[in-house]
Structure formats: structure tokens, C-alpha cells
Amino acid sequence: MLTTKFIFLFIILFGILFISMPTHESSAEYFPPRKQWKMFADPDMLTCKDGLVLLQKNNGYPACVTPTTYVKLIDRDFAKYDFRLISNRPDMTSYLIVHLESNPNIMNHWHDMMIKNPTVIETTMSDWILQIKEEPRLLYNILGPIASEPELREKMIVIMRTHSQMEDSLRNNPAWMISVHKSVTQEIPHENCSWCPTYTYDNSKSITLQSDRLMDLIHHFWINDEMSTRMYKLMLNDPTHMAMMSDKMMDEILYPIMNDPQLREEMANLLIKHQAFMDAIRHN
């Protein structure tokens, strides 16, 4: 009986000791990066808490920082962008991509690079068309901001009128023609779209770039097929970004949609339900 109790007590004590023993993974998870560096001396062993990104400063020491701080440190030459360090950590890459995509200044530069490379635009739009057909709600993210913003709306109307196939489709659409010939309201309302996505501009995420050093980071994302594909997918899923992007390259975005018979019809059906857009058509 005594022997059985002893064995039972030994098993419990061994279990407690085994559970409490630190492992490399748990140590890396809870120790600051500089302490991890002293323990492992291997960048591939370093980890950060969720939401943070790993980088090495110019003095060689590692740090776990927010994506905002990451971009600022690189831009101000306190650290260098290490492509291998990020590419081996998918979660950190995602945090950084989300931050870059939400930064108007950075994305303006990205859009400029797209405009200078028609092949990239064509490839991106071909991919977007396929995604929209598989998930129709994505069309809302493109058309909602354009139809709701007065300046973008006017530009959209001009583009639609230059597209002969779109013009023919609208003339042959009884519901569209009935809606167009309704009486014009005295004032165009601003918030009257049931299908438009909700979006807001967050200027707090925008930083003023101090130098060209950050361009090295953006360039690596641009030339890496996997990262650029993830970036473009994120753009399409973000109506706030689509509003910014449409301001610079609306023709390139709308024409592929209007060239596709299925999406052209869906575009007309959505715009008929947008009172402010239809009132603008009637006013014009």
C-alpha cells in the first residue's frame, strides 16, 4: 500500500515538473526579444507577441514593434528592412501588409507604380474579375465608394458614357430606363444606398515619409508575387482603399467590369438602387 502511494506521488510530482519545464518556444514567446537573442543567438528562433513585427535595428539588436513603428524606424534609418526575416513569418507579414494597405501615403506610391506598369494593372484586374464572379459582394466594395462620393460619381458617369457596350446595355434595360426617366429630386441625398459598404478614412495610420528608404520595403513587396497578390486581394476587400484607388485609376478599374456582360448587368442593377447616383444621372 505504501509502495502504491509512493508511486502515485512520484507520478504527480513528475507531471508538475514536466509541465513547468521551459521550452524554446514558450521561452521565446514570453521573453523580450533581446533576452531571446542572448539565449538563442539565432534570428529564426526569435518570436514576438501577436500583432507585433520583428526587426533588427542598425545596432544589431532585435526588437518586436507595432507595424506603425516598424515602418517609421525603417523610414528614419534606425533599422533596415530584412526580407528574409519577415517572409519566414507569415503572421508578421500579414500584420505589415494590412498596415501598408491602410496607409494612404504608401498606397499612393504603390498606385503610381501600378499606373506605370499596364501589365500589372491588367493582371490584377483579370484576377479581380474572377474573384468578383466567385464572390459578388466584392463588387459592392468597388462601386459603393465611387457611386457615393460626389466627385468620383461624376467621373464614373462620364466613363460609363464612353463605353458603348455599357450604353447599349442600359438602353436595353427596361428597369434602368424607367428609373432614368423618373422626376429629378431637388437635392441629391448622400446616404441612401442599402448595398453600399461602410467605410471610413483613418488618417491616424498615415505617416509622412521622410526619405526614400521605405521604398526598398515597398519594392520588395512589389516584386514578390506572393506578397503582391496578398496585397491586391486585401485592396479589393477594403472599400476605403478602393475609394482611394479609384480616384487615381478609375478607367482601369471600371472598364474590365463593363467589358464583362455578367458584371455589366450586375453593375446596372446595383446602380439603379443607388438614389444619389440615379439623381446625378438625371441631373446630367
Give CA–CA dist 274/276, Å, rounded.
6
Instruction: Look at residue 6 in the predicted model and tell me its pLDDT.
Output: 46
Enter the DSSP assignment of 48: -
Q: Out of 35-44, 46-55, 252-261, pick the least confident.
A: 35-44
Give pTM, 2 decimals. Answer: 0.77
Half-sphere exposure of 273 (CA within 13 A, CB side): 11
Q: 82-124, pLDDT tens digit by residue?
A: 777 877 888 888 888 888 888 888 888 899 999 999 999 999 9
Percent of the chain predicted with pLDDT > 70: 80
Q: 245-265, pLDDT tens digit by residue?
A: 998 999 999 999 999 999 999
Nearest alpha carbon to residue 72 among 63, 113, 32: 63
In the numeric block, which cell numbers belong to residue 146?
465611387
Residues 6+ apart with CB under 8 A from 57: 63, 73, 78, 79
Q: What is the mean pLDDT of residues 16-41?
A: 53
Domain ranges of the chain: 104-283
